[in-house]
Amino acid sequence: MMLFLRYKVSVDCLRVISKQQALLSVFDFQELELLLCGLPEIDIEDWKRNTEYTGDFERKGASHKVVKWFWEVSIGRQIAIVFFSDNLKQVVVDDFNEEHKARLLQFVTGTSGVPAQGFRALQGNDNNIRKFTVNSIPETVSVFPKAHTCFNRIDLPLYDSKKKLKKFLTMAIQMEATGFDID
């Protein structure tokens, strides 16, 4: 019943907006998808379990330092150790919020939606199952990550710091969302 109500609200909103073409023109297809469908619940652990690694990442997989940084930034949680008097406290510091996670998924796959069966059922443009893939590229080729949406693949430069990875990944996702290209 909730799904039907959500669908009905989306359809009703689209009818109202479509009568006003000027209102639609301010959104790109990715923004419309997020507005109509809402932010998806992205299970990062499922995403990680159903990821393949190629290039320099193939041998170490999720243990490679750049891949670790990628998931730390993408997961949205980073543990910071803070000292209060004599007590040691852990504080969760957010990196990527839910919108950034959805935009990352959109950047790499072309959609912010996760298949009902989870990431194991992620499809490419040929409707065949294509796992999410993290591929390494030299930083000399590009400082920005590159997405290959037909193959659900992200080419991630071999950064020398997590800060640099976060900076360029965030920029790539934001530029994609605003319609600017980084090539």
List of residues 6+ apart from 49 with CB closer than 8 A: 119, 120
Beta-bridged to residue 6, according to DSSP, are: none
The DSSP call for residue 11 is H
112 with 103: CB under 8 angstroms? yes
124 with 130: CB under 8 angstroms? yes
Q: At residue 91, what are phi and psi to the nearest 5 degrees?
A: -120, 130
In the residue annotation, 150 being an active-site residue is answered as yes
Catalytic member of 150, 163, 174, 182: 150
| Active site members | 150
